[in-house]
């Protein structure tokens, strides 16, 4: 157990629907990162939150949004789902939130596998 908790583990839904993926970071970590993993695109960075604030955006579609709550858990909302959104969505956490000379090792959760039919 990495200490990063993601729910649900599996989710099957239909095109056009909306889903919410949830992530609780490792105790003490203030940063949460969301990644999408698919066979054709590999691991794609979506978004980064630090202590409730959005810090960086990657290849995140406008149909997707995220937030980090005061208790530091984060949610990734995916709407108007398309077949191509089927993927494994990972949340990762780290203690770092500002540039540092130390390594920023990300600890990953087990992932949420989304299947859009």
Residues that bind other proteins (CB under 8 A): 2, 31, 33, 42-43, 45, 48, 50, 55-56, 58, 90, 92, 94, 96-111
Name the residue nearer to other proteins (CB basis): 14 or 100. 100
- The residues, any chain, with a CB within 8 Å of residue 74's CB and separated by 6 or more, are 22, 23, 25, 32, 34, 49, 66, 67, 68, 91
CB of 100 to other proteins, least distance (A): 6
Task: Report the sign of the C-alpha dihedral through residues 82, 86, 87, 93, in that order.
Answer: positive
Name the residue nearer to other proteins (CB basis): 18 or 57. 57
CB of 65 to other proteins, least distance (A): 18
Q: What CA–CA distance (Å, rounded) separates 9 from 43?
A: 18
Name the residue nearer to other proteins (CB basis): 22 or 55. 55
């Amino acid at each position: 157990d990495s200490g990063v908790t993601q729910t649900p583990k599996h989710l099957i839904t239909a095109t056009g629907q909306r889903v919410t993926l949830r992530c609780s970071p490792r105790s003490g970590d203030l940063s949460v990162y969301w990644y999408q993993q698919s066979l054709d695109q590999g691991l794609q960075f979506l978004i980064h939150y630090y202590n409730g604030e959005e810090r960086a955006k990657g290849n995140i579609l406008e149909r997707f949004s995220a937030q980090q709550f005061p208790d530091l858990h984060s949610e990734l909302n995916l709407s108007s789902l398309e077949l191509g959104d089927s993927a494994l969505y990972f949340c990762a956490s780290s203690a770092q939130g500002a540039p540092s000379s130390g390594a920023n090792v990300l600890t990953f959760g087990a992932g949420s596998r989304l299947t859009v039919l």
